[in-house]
A = this chain, B = another copy of it.
Amino acid sequence: MRKENIDNTETINQAVGKQTIKFANPPAIISRASVVGQMEGEGPLSSFYDQIENDPTFGMNSWEEGESEMVRRAVQTAISKSGISKEDIRYLLGGDLLGQLIGTTFGVKSFNIPLFGLYGACSTCGEGLSLAAMLVAAGYADNALAFTSSHYGSAEKQFRFPLEYGNQRPLSATWTVTGSGAFVVSSTKNQNAMQGYPRITAVTTGKIVDYGVVDNMNMGAIMAPAAADVIYQCLEDLSLKPDYFDKIITGDLGKVGSEILIKLLRDNNVEIGDRHMDCGVEIFDSEKQDTHSGGSGCGCCAVTLAGYILHNMDQGTWKRILFVPTGALLSTVSYNEGQTIPGIAHGIVIEH
């Protein structure tokens, strides 16, 4: 079967094409965890989460402290499930949507593990998994832990309107997921011990793509061009067709953004319509839960990967996926100063 998979038989990691790294010994995701809020727990992917917390502040005093507690629980759960001790994890790599990453800082400070703080908006899960895999595959660490989070209350307060306003939302708007996902990424130098785990065989790092969109209630349209760009480049760099993958899974484009993505790639003679899935579309039942275009936020694709997606890979339903977290790069300051909202996305090839 090996010849059908990405050829990782080289003895050294390879920079291929313009933006992709192919790993000689693809790192394994030996453990993952997802912690979510009540609304996610009432959604269609409910049974795949490790923890569902109905208290929006997670027993703390504010949404922000609640987000940090959620992060702490996700990281702790991923470590516990990995069977290794936290002292054996050499790096934490993660970030969140809040200014100056306070969800991350106060979530992981008690672990006492070296930290690379990351910001890629909702693409952060992809950025963290990419760097974790790169550091592990380079031999810098036996184990690294990538994580990310978002929280409906803290995000709405920061980016849009405090919840108390009760403002109306257009149908193109997405719903920020309350969730944190964490992943222990480990070396497979000892190949035999790692046979049972999904592996990160390649990563494609995204560029900022700016189509000049200025509507912060239509994030899908902002991120779709960045997703199209990185998917196109990943296929190009690895000389693959879309049908190599059982699924090509974007982060939080929602229904509106997903349609744009498929059309953009079709215009470039790449057809992914028959195998595309978007975590933002899957995570809520938009009709019953009134979430409009779907879920969004760093946590959206992170908890969907940690739960539903990797479950399907464990079951053998999907053997190879291209996982593409998508981010919209803005702040209230840049938005109010009339700047556009550029997008970014990172591609992770996972094979089992």
Contacts and interface: CB of A to CB of B under 8 A. Distances in A.
Interface string A42-79: 00000000000000000001101100000000000000
Interface stretch (A178-186, A200-208, A281-289, A307-315): A200-208
Contacts of A342: 105-106, 109
Interface string A318-342: 0000000000011111100101001
A121 to B, nearest CB: 7
A50 to B, nearest CB: 24
Interface stretch (A134-142, A169-177, A217-225, A267-275): A134-142
A210 B141 CA distance: 25
Nearest to A209: B109
Given A13-B140, A134-B135, A140-B13, A112 B330 contact: no
A97 interface: yes
Interface string A82-118: 0000000011000101111110011011001111111
B114 A206 contact: yes
Nearest to A157: B333
A334 B64 contact: yes
Interface residues of A, number: 58
A96 to B, nearest CB: 10
Interface in A134-164: 134-135, 137-141, 158
B140 A21 contact: yes
A104 to B, nearest CB: 8
A118 B117 contact: yes
Contacts of A121: 100
A245 interface: no
Contacts of A12: 139
A19 interface: yes
The 8 closest A-B pairs by CB, nearest first: A99-B99, A138-B138, A114-B205, A100-B331, A109-B208, A102-B334, A117-B119, A105-B329
Interface of A: 12-13, 15, 19, 21, 61-62, 64-65, 90-91, 95, 97-102, 105-106, 108-109, 112-121, 127, 130-131, 134-135, 137-141, 158, 205-208, 210, 329-334, 337, 339, 342, 344
